[in-house]
Structure 1
């Protein structure tokens, strides 16, 4: 997507109700971290194809492993910081599930939109491209952001009322 924040819609929509099964903050980060390299290419810091190896399921899985490792290391080394962002992972499985599903959702959404993505690399085809219209994807992400935002506010309200 041309603007990574569109990915927050599906992340919130799925992340809030699944927060007991996956680490919520890790899931949010996983949904947008795939575009790190894309951003560097876009601004000319790196060269190459805009959607490169992280926009494949293999690359996204490897990135998910790095993200999960980073989250778990941070949870052990700086628990006070993790407490501040309300991300003390319950389990390794919750972090891994959040990392993999978040990065894969990103690859799937972008694969539908962009022909230059090769989600099943080393295969050079993109069978997902064009299966859903661009307008429908964007509208769905905006709708998901609205629903996910409401769900997030309700989650925050419940959390605040439970701590008082």
Structure 2
């Protein structure tokens, strides 16, 4: 997507109800970290296609492993911080699930929109491209953001009360 924040909509919509099964903060990060390389290409720090290897399921899975490892190390290194921001601090399974599903959700959404993405690389195919319109994806992401914000209000309220 041209604006990575669009990915926060589906992340919130799916992440809030699944927060007991996956680490919510990791899931949010996983949904946007896939665009880290694309951002560097966009700003001419790196060269190549905007949607490169991280926009494949294989690349996203490897990135998910790196993200999960980083979160798990942070949870061990700074448990007090992770206890405050994480829905499942220290749960390796919840962090792995959040990392993989978040990165894969990103790849899936972008695969529908862009011709240069090859989600099943090394195969040069993208059967997801054009399965729905760009407007539908963007509108769906904005709608998901609204629903996700509404769904997260009780959780946010409880979290704020716990920190005071």
TM-score, normalisation: structure 1: 0.95
Is residue 20–residue 87 contact of structure 2 (8 Å, CA) maintained in 1? no
Structure 1 pair 5–69 and aligned structure 2 pair: CA distance change class (3 A): same
Structure 1 pair 81–162 and aligned structure 2 pair: CA distance change class (3 A): closer
Secondary structure of the 2:73 match is helix
Q: Structure 2: how far apart are the matches of 1:99 and 1:120?
A: 18
In the other structure, the counterpart of 2:76 is 76
Q: Structure 2: how far apart are the matches of 1:60 and 1:158?
A: 33
In the other structure, the counterpart of 1:42 is 42
In the other structure, the counterpart of 2:116 is 116
User: How does 1:141-160 map onto structure 2 within 5 Å?
Assistant: 141-160=141-160
Please list the CA deviations of residues 126-147 of structure 1 after superposition, one character each: whole Å capped at 9, or x if unmatched. 1100001000000000000000
User: How does 1:1-164 map onto structure 2 within 5 Å?
Assistant: 1-86=1-86, 89-161=89-161
Unaligned 5+ residue runs, structure 1?
none
Unaligned 5+ residue runs, structure 2?
none
Q: Structure 2: how far apart are the matches of 1:17 and 1:155?
A: 10
Is residue 79–residue 88 contact of structure 1 (8 Å, CA) maintained in 2? no
TM-score, normalisation: structure 2: 0.95
How many residue pairs match? The answer is: 164
The alignment's C-alpha RMSD in Å is: 1.5
Is residue 72–residue 90 contact of structure 2 (8 Å, CA) maintained in 1? no
